[in-house]
Amino acid sequence: MVAPLRWAQMTTQVVRAGQEDWAAVRDIRLRALSDAPEAFASRLSDERDRPESVWRDRLSSSDASTFLALDDGDAVGLVTAYRDPDEHTRAHLVSLWVSPDRRGHGVATALTEAVLRWAQLAEIRTVGLWVTETNDAARRLYERCGFADSGARQPLPSHPHLQEMAMHREITE
């Protein structure tokens, strides 16, 4: 559990999701893909038809972590990080999304910080991610959280007319 963020009369908590949270994770992931399709490599149609077992498997892996931001129990934000299967001191941050009515209050920052703390505990040295080049809000957020442009570019798999850029952040002791 990560320290709660408080604003107005609402309290947002960042929690690590377990297998039992698979339906809430699926629901918010589908909302994210529907709200911001050009921010993600996966398509809504890829994720929508996956069976329960796939969601549970993702949440039970010891080499991955999914965090939910909860407002009074309702999921309003999501992020996942997983260890690179070939390079064990490297992890990837994916699927970051915050509900539009909760943006601008530090929820994504809190989710990203949760990933960075998880990475440190997991003895990860570098966290990498891909962000659509035109996604200024996400780029600014990542820069503020210490990520830098890695230089690599590739077409966004879900929308190949867009370019995504690689960013990375070193994890220090």
Interaction between residue 127 and ligand COA (CB under 6 A): no
Interaction between residue 104 and ligand COA (CB under 6 A): yes
SS3 168: strand
SS3 labels along 57-105:
HHHHCCCEEEEEEEECCEEEEEEEEEECCCCCCEEEEEEEEECHHHCCC
Q: How far is CA 55 from the centre of its chain?
A: 15
Size, binding site for ligand COA by CB under 6 A: 18
- Which among 13-21, 55-63, 98-106, 113-121 is the span making contact with ligand COA, rule CB under 6 A? 98-106
Which of the 8 DSSP states describes residue 106? S
For the bound state, the minimum distance from the C-beta of residue 106 to ligand COA, rounded and expressed in Å, comes to: 3
- Which among 10-18, 19-27, 53-61, 136-144 is the span making contact with ligand COA, rule CB under 6 A? 136-144
Interaction between residue 141 and ligand COA (CB under 6 A): yes
Interaction between residue 70 and ligand COA (CB under 6 A): no
Distance separating alpha carbons of residues 95 and 63, to the nearest angstrom:
16
- Residue 95 bridge partners (DSSP): none
Distance separating alpha carbons of residues 111 and 98, to the nearest angstrom:
9
Query: Of 109, 120, 150, 163, which lies in the binding site for ligand COA, with binding defined by CB under 6 A?
Result: 109
Query: CB of 84 within 8 A of CB of 92?
Result: yes
Site track for ligand COA across 34-63, x = CB under 6 A = --x--x------------------------
- Which among 10-18, 43-51, 115-123, 129-137 is the span making contact with ligand COA, rule CB under 6 A? 129-137
Beta-sheet pairing, 90-98 with 126-132 = parallel
Query: Of 25, 75, 98, 124, which lies in the binding site for ligand COA, with binding defined by CB under 6 A?
Result: 98
Positions in the binding site for ligand COA (CB under 6 A): 36, 39, 96-98, 103-109, 131, 135, 137-138, 140-141
